[in-house]
Amino acid sequence: MNHPDHTVKSRVAAISVFASAGMAAAKFVVGVAIGSLAAVEPHAGLAAYVTFKSALVSLVRTVALENKDAGLTANVVLPGTMDTPANRKAMPGADFSDLADGSSRLSIA
């Protein structure tokens, strides 16, 4: 599989922004990170991806614990495999009929 491991620096930068001390100055802050089900159900051949997603879960949980009295909540969403062109290419024999198609969009009112 071809994972974007070359973007680790940008991911670390995003985490730094997410966990910055400036958020604590706000009256109420909600942080949401996109993890992966692979963080809690790892698969062979995905060591770097699983390691990053597992670390992200631990970071978000720690941020939530350290800032619970400051009005900051932190959450991580753990989606499973999605039906995307990249996943179809990486898993040509997989059955994608029961998976989200990746084009779904969450509407927040």
89 catalytic, yes or no? no
SS3 label, residue 98:
coil
Candidate list 9, 49, 68, 89, residue with the active-site label = 49
Residue type, 14: A
CA nearest neighbour of 33 among 70, 6, 63 = 63
User: 């990249």: which residue's tokens?
Assistant: 86
CA nearest neighbour of 86 among 77, 76, 74, 99 = 99
Question: Cβ distance 39 to 57 under 8 Å?
Answer: yes
27 catalytic, yes or no? no
Candidate list 9, 27, 53, 89, residue with the active-site label = 53
Q: Which residues are catalytic?
A: 49, 53
